[in-house]
Amino acid sequence: MTAIGLLTVEKQGRHRYYRLATSGVAHMLESIMQVASELAPARKRLVVGPRDAALRKARTCYDHLAGQLGVALADALVAAGTFRAGR
């Protein structure tokens, strides 16, 4: 997936961290998930992350913000020009 540009890899010592290469790749994956959910409407809804609504709203993951509030904060910083998305 890195060879065709869907993922990027960052090497830190002996570790490699993979991430989606662009926001377009994220949108593509979300679109695929939407189509898949429409093809099988009788299936149980997939819940990603914590089941508790409060944890989905605001949580941390190791040493960074996560959850809906973390994403909203990152989006606001990018929109304000304070933070630049991607690498």
pLDDT one-digit tens code per residue, 7-45: 999 999 999 999 999 999 999 999 998 888 788 766 666
**What does the alpha-carbon distance between residue 68 and residue 73 come to, in Å, rounded to a whole number?**
9
User: What average pLDDT does range 55-63 have in this prediction?
Assistant: 72
Q: Are strands 64-66 and 15-20 parallel, antiparallel or unpaired?
A: unpaired
In this prediction the pTM is 0.43
Q: Give the CA distances from residue 7 to residues 4, 11, 21, 22, 78, in Å, rounded to whole numbers and listed in that order.
A: 8, 13, 5, 8, 21
Number of H helices, E strands in the chain: 3, 4
